[in-house]
Amino acid sequence: MVANSMMDGLKSLEELLARTNQRFNCVDTAFPEPGPGRFTANIVHYAEPPLGTAQLEQLKRLFPEIPQLAEFYAHYGSIRLFVDPIGGDSAFFVASPDEWHGLKKLFETWTDLLDEEEEDMLPDWLDNYLTIGEIPTSGNYLLMPTKGEHAGKVFLFDHDGFEFVERGADLGAFIQRISTVDDALVEEIPGHTRYSDGETETQWLAKEYLYVS
């Protein structure tokens, strides 16, 4: 089950990365429906080379309960998806292990604000977790428990409601989710990602995904 999940996730990601002339038809944030303005934003994806053998072996030693970590990073060192090449914004970032600690510190700036009573809203698995990525510029982070019944799942921390929302039963399922462009994903991306035309201050929202196979 685990191996198949990652296999499916990597296949979806490879298909996404292989497409050419990817773009979003966008509308002005000020007039989202129906909106007088239209803009077509080119989008790109960045994928770093896989980790080296020593780093992969370290992941296997540190997280034996989560073999998908080493499996994913044997293919990609990090991925940044649906990037605006003009403004630099992007929709999803799965970071390299070298960046996990810095992202965790940023996530903890939110939990450090809680008083003793408010800490009851935190899930038990926050005793053992990784911050494997983020939703860039949103203040939302991708968390993975490393122990217990939730080990290996991917949760989104949404600071708006201080919610921890499961986004993948494992890393493979999450990768497949963010690299499979369906209506739900296109509706999700405008919630936190803006695109620029390079000429005006307009913040453009993705409404329709287009590409050449």
Identify the three-state secondary structure at position 66: coil
pLDDT tens for 22-65 read 999 999 877 656 555 689 999 999 999 999 999 999 999 999 99
Label residue 91 exposed, middle or buried (CB < 10 Å: 0-12, 13-18, 19+): buried
In the prediction, which pLDDT does 3 show?
A: 53
In the prediction, which pLDDT does 47 show?
A: 98
pTM recorded for the entire structure: 0.93
DSSP secondary structure, 102-121, as one string: HHHHHHHHHHTT--TTGGGG
Q: pLDDT band at residue 4, thresholds of 50, 70 and 90?
A: confident
Alpha-carbon gap, residue 150 to 168, rounded angstroms: 11
Residue 49 preceded by cis peptide, ω within 30: no
Please check the confidence at residue 183 and state whether its pLDDT lies above 90.
yes
Alpha-carbon gap, residue 53 to 55, rounded angstroms: 6
Q: pLDDT band at residue 88, thresholds of 50, 70 and 90?
A: very high
pLDDT tens for 131-155 read 999 999 999 999 999 999 999 999 9
Q: Would you state the structure tokens that stand for residue 60, as one six-digit string?
A: 């296997």
C-beta separation of 6 from 154 below 8 A: no
